[in-house]
Amino acid sequence: MQYPEPVAKLIDSYMHLPGIGKKTATRLAFYTIDMNKDDVLNFAEALTDTKEKLKFCSICGNITENDPCDICADPNRDQSKILVVEQPKDVATMEKMKDYKGLYHVLHGVLSPMEGKGPDDINISSLIQRLQKNEAIQEVIVATNATPEGDATAMYLARLLKPAGIKVTRLARGLSVGSDIEYADEMTLFKAVEGRTEM
């Protein structure tokens, strides 16, 4: 069926979201059409605000409105530990646990030769610079996902950092293999952090 151009554009826009196929995109488009005008405008404003008001923290790479982010700027955080995660959403997930009080570093991806992603394509160089500038850091906890790419990234970081005398640990396997940190519950995350092992 041929939809009017605004509807076709809306469907196409929804299809750019991960995991959204044509059927779901069409359903979302017609749901949007049925929304009242204020809700649509608020939705559009929320989308625009995320692009205009958010930036990446110049220290850790997390998403933030302020630079540095609230975590990096907090003097009460444990300055001796950095927990390395793949994506900003992983920081939010770890913070829900409320037991980890150290700092973070967001890689914005993992090493993936199949996708052509090497060390220069993720946020590793700024981690090295952080470690060189801050002698208080004693431990780097690698919290990449338990996937082949996550494991390869963890091993790469361990080989890179250990010669500098920095303790490198990996989350314990409280997280099931193949799972994402984003979907783990707080107790599983707590046990994973508590039972981390040196690499």
Q: Which fold has domain 63-198?
A: Dna Topoisomerase Vi A Subunit; Chain: A, domain 2 (3.40.1360)
pLDDT digits (tens, 9 = 90+) for 133-176: 988 999 999 999 988 999 999 999 999 998 888 999 998 766 67
| pLDDT above 70: residue 11 | yes
174, amino acid identity: G
Whole-number average pLDDT of the chain: 92
pTM over 0.85: no
Neighbours of 40 (CB within 10 A): 13
Nearest CA among 132, 152, 134, 133 for reference residue 142: 152
Nearest CA among 116, 168, 115 for reference residue 143: 168
pLDDT digits (tens, 9 = 90+) for 34-43: 999 999 999 9
Query: Sign of torsion, CA 100 70 49 54?
Result: negative
| pLDDT above 80: residue 23 | yes
Give span(s): CATH 1.10.8.420, the chain.
Answer: 5-53
pLDDT digits (tens, 9 = 90+) for 114-128: 899 999 999 999 999
For residues 139 and 80, what is the distance between their CA atoms, to the nearest angstrom?
6
Give span(s): CATH 3.40.1360.10, the chain.
Answer: 63-198
pLDDT digits (tens, 9 = 90+) for 83-100: 999 999 999 999 998 889
> What CATH superfamily classification does 5-53 receive?
RecR Domain 1 (1.10.8.420)
For residues 100 and 154, what is the distance between their CA atoms, to the nearest angstrom?
19
pLDDT higher for 23 or 192?
Answer: 23
Q: What is the pLDDT of residue 128?
A: 94
